[in-house]
Amino acid sequence: MQIRTVRTVCPYCAVGCNVIVTSDGKRIISVVPSKRNDINYGSLCIKGWKGFDAVTSKERLKNPMKRTERGFVEISWEEAVDIVVKNLSEIKRKYGPDALAFIASARCTNEDNYLMQKLARQVFGTNNIDHCARLCHSPSVEGLISTFGRGAATTSIADLDNAELYFIIGTNITEHYPILGARIINNVMKGKKLIVADPRNIHIAKFATLHLRLLPGTDLALLNTMANVIVKKGLYDKKFIEERTENFDEYLKVIEYYDLERGSKITGVDPELIEKASVLYATSRSVILYSLGVTQHVQGVQTVQAIANLAMLTGNVGKPGTGVFPIRGQNNVQGAGDMGALCDFLPGYVRVDDENGRRKFEEAWNCKLPSKPGLSLPEMFWEAYKGNVKAMYIMGENPVISESELGIVEEALKKLEFLVVQDIFMTETAEFAHVVLPAKSFAEKLGTFTNTERRIQLIRPFLDPPGNALDDWKIFQLIARKMGYDWNYNSPEDIMAEISKLVPQYKGVTYDCLSENGVQWPVNESCKGTEILYTEKFARSNGKGRFMPAHWERPSDFPDEEYPFILTTGGIYYQYTTGTMTRKVHILEREAPSPFVEINPEDAKSLGIRDGELVTVKSRYGELDVRARISDSVPRGILFIPFHYREAPVNRIVNPHIDPKARTPEFKVTAVKIVKKVIQ
């Protein structure tokens, strides 16, 4: 038994807290926060303190398995790779490369994701590669690239301390990014201002200078109205707009429509509150932090653009203490996007239809690359349902719980001629697979994660892998080699050497230079990172920021007489995404063991619903039985159901509409009714 202590990164949310772990190789002896870093210096949330235990669960996958009539049986790696290669190449030969679809993972390392997209593109010749950013922040990627030139946070976590005002819109920050939430609350206690725009009475709203409880799906109208007020009062930054931006006149034309009266009518927020918020935001050094309350809507991209517009209007970007901060979700969702695990982007956000951009990769990988954008995550399932996608390879994703339109997802998976699932556990999705491949978890492998502030950080192994589990990247290499490709990576460091050659943002990155506190991209040749983006110019080709105005439209599925409630969905503090890890951790499961629907006390009273009672929530798309939790955290007319629980998979009933550009589902607004469960 050998005791080892390593510094590594929490595998849950994208804050990317640094931890020191001690283990004997089999068990975790202790997990404590690192003090020497700019992210979490000395603190962790409950998932950091306790959630690491998930990977020591006895339920970890240990050997490859294949489906037989008698259920799953364990097989050797050799046989598993043979089956995968035989089936994928056969299906490609019969139906063409686009009959294959690959799902990468925001839970896996940059190196894992880089090789998976390379496998899809170079070896199998398809752009059908995507990952959960599609369900989450792809509106941020589109929205911020179109306005600023880069689809990531403009500033750093440490720089948040330099702001005078935080505008938190559409994020339950204290439950989902607890260490960031705590940092902001600390600063507010010291006198900084805080505006919260959220329909629910979330914890951070208790500390807010102003809480705007807008109707779900009206953010674009709110942001346009704030801009209207700021312009009318002459509080905008003329010099910044003139020197650094373009398309301002078009913006003025659109926001003119959103006077206070109209804005208040659409959003349901008192006009005085909107006015006060606008003045405070424009007259302070302000940073906007947002997440899924903004992006998971059919107007997600346009709302992100409206946020960028507001920041440019007031010169609140490119300087210390200002900025636009999309708080990314999963530990490595920023990195998976950077690595090109997206159906429309090659590594480094080169569009797949950009011929010049593509050439660099064709030369490096010695192949011809497809130029047509691939299928996004929801489209992969639709096409499989229709019979056009015949095989899927899923790494570290559990769509049977997390995707919208679960009815279609399950049917689609059943129809596939071949499904490979590569995970650390036997998930609900893996139950559908023909072959299941056991991967090492973050605890057993070396590699990098890129957190929400673009910081590339090193993760280091501290446990022995269970059974014959392999690194995700190594499994791809076995497949590529069997397919006749000469992949020769000896370690993840070799993969990073290739990434740093091909992805300009990661130019000078080496594991040596990451070893202390990591580095924020873009990184130069000498491995110096960038804390604040756009200090001199924006990253669009002409160096200017571009105002991208849009009019507000109603959400895709809106309440009426039959379905009078708005259902909104999201997560809670103790559980994480589809629960494959947190639900195996005793303390987390003890605190939040079962699904619920939150309903306002007055609504509950008028419907005669008691706390804890079983109710049925019905939408136009399906129905769900779940227990009621009476709580004034939701206003009248709004219900909330968390999406973590397989016992009540809320995505059976959410509306099926997606943002047409980013293709992100509108998880945040579905019209529903709620009735007492009739027990027969």
In the complex, which residues of this chain contact ligand MGD (CB under 6 A)? Answer: 13, 105, 107-108, 132, 135-136, 169-173, 175-176, 197-200, 202, 214, 216-217, 219, 291-293, 296, 329-330, 395-399, 402, 422-425, 427, 439, 441-442, 472, 568-571, 573, 575-578, 580-581, 643, 650-651, 654, 667-668
- CA 193 to CA 167: how far, in whole Å? 9
179 binds, among Mo ion, ligand SF4, ligand MGD, none (CB under 5 to 8 A by kind): ligand SF4
* Smallest distance, Mo ion to C-beta of residue 476, A: 23
| Alpha helices, H only, 366-520 | 377-386, 399-402, 406-415, 472-482, 492-502, 511-514
The two three-digit tokens of residue 449, written as one number: 């994660």
Do residues 490 and 470 make contact, with C-beta atoms less than 8 angstroms apart?
no
DSSP state of 122: I
Angle between helices 472-482 and 77-95 (to 10 degrees): 60
* DSSP H helices in 371-471: 377-386, 399-402, 406-415
Minimum CB distance to ligand MGD, residue 667 (Å): 4
The enclosing H or E element of 101 equals strand 100-103
Q: What percentage of the chain's residues is helix, strand, coil (to nearest 5)?
A: 35, 20, 45
Q: Which is nearer to Mo ion, 33 or 329 (CB)?
A: 329
Tokens 């010749």 correspond to 125
Q: Is 10 in the site for ligand SF4 (CB under 6 A)?
A: yes
Binding mask 44-83 for Mo ion (x = CB under 5 A): ----------------------------------------
CB of 577 to ligand SF4, least distance (A): 11
**Nearest distance, CB of residue 16 and ligand SF4, angstroms:** 6
Q: Which residues contact residue 180 at a Cβ distance below 8 angstroms, ignoring those fewer than 6 apart?
A: 15, 157, 160, 173, 289, 327
263 binds, among ligand MGD, Mo ion, ligand SF4, none (CB under 5 to 8 A by kind): none
Q: Does 17 bind ligand SF4 (CB under 6 A)?
A: yes
Site for ligand SF4, residues 48 to 67, rule: CB under 6 A: 48
> SS3 for 102?
strand
- Tokens representing residue 371 in the block: 């130029």
Q: Name residues whose C-beta falls within 8 Å of residue 86's C-beta, 6 or more positions apart in sequence.
A: none
- Cβ–Cβ < 8 Å for 157, 13: no
Least Å from the CB of residue 402 to ligand SF4: 18
Applying CB under 6 A, the span of 173-181, 260-268, 355-363, 624-632 interacting with ligand SF4 comes to 173-181
- Measured between alpha carbons, how far is 319 from 317 in angstroms, rounded to an integer? 6
Does 97 bind Mo ion (CB under 5 A)? Our answer is: no
Tell me how far, at minimum, the Cβ of 172 lies from ligand MGD, in Å.
3
User: Out of ligand SF4, Mo ion, ligand MGD, none, which partner does residue 17 contact, by CB within 5 to 8 A per kind?
Assistant: ligand SF4
> Which residue in the shown chain puts its C-beta closest to Mo ion?
329
Q: Which does 15 bind (CB under 5 to 8 A by kind): ligand SF4, Mo ion, ligand MGD, none?
A: ligand SF4
Q: Under a CB-based contact definition with an 8 Å cutoff, are residues 666 and 556 in contact?
A: yes
Q: Closest distance between ligand SF4 and the C-beta of residue 168, in Å? A: 16
Tell which residue, 267, 218, 229, has the closest CA to residue 553: 218
618 binds, among ligand SF4, Mo ion, ligand MGD, none (CB under 5 to 8 A by kind): none
Closest CB to ligand SF4 among 352 and 572? 572
Stretches 172-180, 200-208, 465-473, 480-488: which one binds ligand SF4 (CB under 6 A)?
A: 172-180
Do strands 350-351 and 345-346 pair parallel, antiparallel, or not at all (unpaired)? antiparallel
Task: Give 213 or 454: the residue with its C-beta nearer to ligand SF4.
Answer: 454
Pick one of ligand MGD, ligand SF4, Mo ion, none as the site partner of residue 396 (Cβ within 5 to 8 A by kind).
Answer: ligand MGD
Cβ proximity to ligand SF4: between 9 and 653 the closer is 9
Check binding of 333 to ligand SF4 (CB under 6 A). no
Residue 48 or residue 199: which is nearer to ligand SF4 going by CB? Answer: 48
Alpha-carbon radius of gyration of the chain = 24
The smaller minimum CB distance to Mo ion, of residues 267 and 578, is found at 578
Q: Report strand pairing: 614-619 vs 638-642.
A: unpaired
Helix (H, G, I), strand (E, B), or coil: what is residue 189? helix
Q: Does 390 bind ligand SF4 (CB under 6 A)?
A: no
| β-pair partners for 65 | 74, 436
- Residue 201 phi/psi, 5-degree rounding, is -90, 70
**Tokens matching residue 518:** 């990591």
Please tell me whether residue 13 binds ligand SF4 under the rule CB under 6 A.
Answer: yes
CA distance 139 to 151: 9
Q: How far apart are CA 97 and CA 92, in angstroms?
A: 5
DSSP H or E segment with residue 570: strand 565-570
Q: How far is the CB of 619 from ligand MGD (least distance, A)?
A: 12
Do 460 and 10 touch, CB atoms closer than 8 A?
A: no
User: How many residues sit close enough to ligand SF4 to count as binding (CB under 6 A)?
Assistant: 14
- Binding flag, residue 545, ligand SF4 (CB under 6 A): no
Q: How far is the CB of 574 from ligand MGD (least distance, A)?
A: 7
- The number of angstroms, rounded, from the C-alpha of 438 to the middle of its chain's C-alpha atoms is 24
Which of Mo ion, ligand SF4, ligand MGD, none lies near 10, with the C-beta cut-off 5 to 8 A by kind?
ligand SF4
Cβ proximity to Mo ion, 136 vs 519, nearer residue: 136
Closest distance to Mo ion from the beta carbon of 577 (Å): 7
Q: Tell which residue, 653, 657, 665, 668, has the closest CA to residue 621.
A: 653
Contact positions with ligand SF4 (CB under 6 A) in 21-50: 40, 44-45, 47-48
DSSP states of 421-440 as a string? Answer: EEESS--TTGGG-SEEEEB-
Figure out which of the listed residues 19, 136, 435, 499 binds Mo ion, where binding follows CB under 5 A: 136
What does the longest C-alpha to C-alpha distance in the chain come to?
73
Which of the ranges 133-141, 303-311, 380-388, 643-651 carries the binding residues for Mo ion, by CB under 5 A?
A: 133-141
Indicate which of ligand SF4, Mo ion, ligand MGD, none lies near residue 557 (CB less than 5 to 8 Å, by partner kind): none
Closest contact distance (angstroms) between CB of 329 and Mo ion is 3
Count of residues touching Mo ion (by CB under 5 A): 2
Residue whose CB is less far from Mo ion, 291 or 477: 291
Sheet strand arrangement including 519-520: 447-450, 455-459, 519-520
What CA dihedral angle connects 378, 379, 380 and 384, to 10 degrees? 110
Contacts with Mo ion, residue ranges (CB under 5 A):
136, 329
What is the contact surface with ligand SF4 in residues (CB under 6 A)? 10, 12-13, 15-17, 40, 44-45, 47-48, 177-179
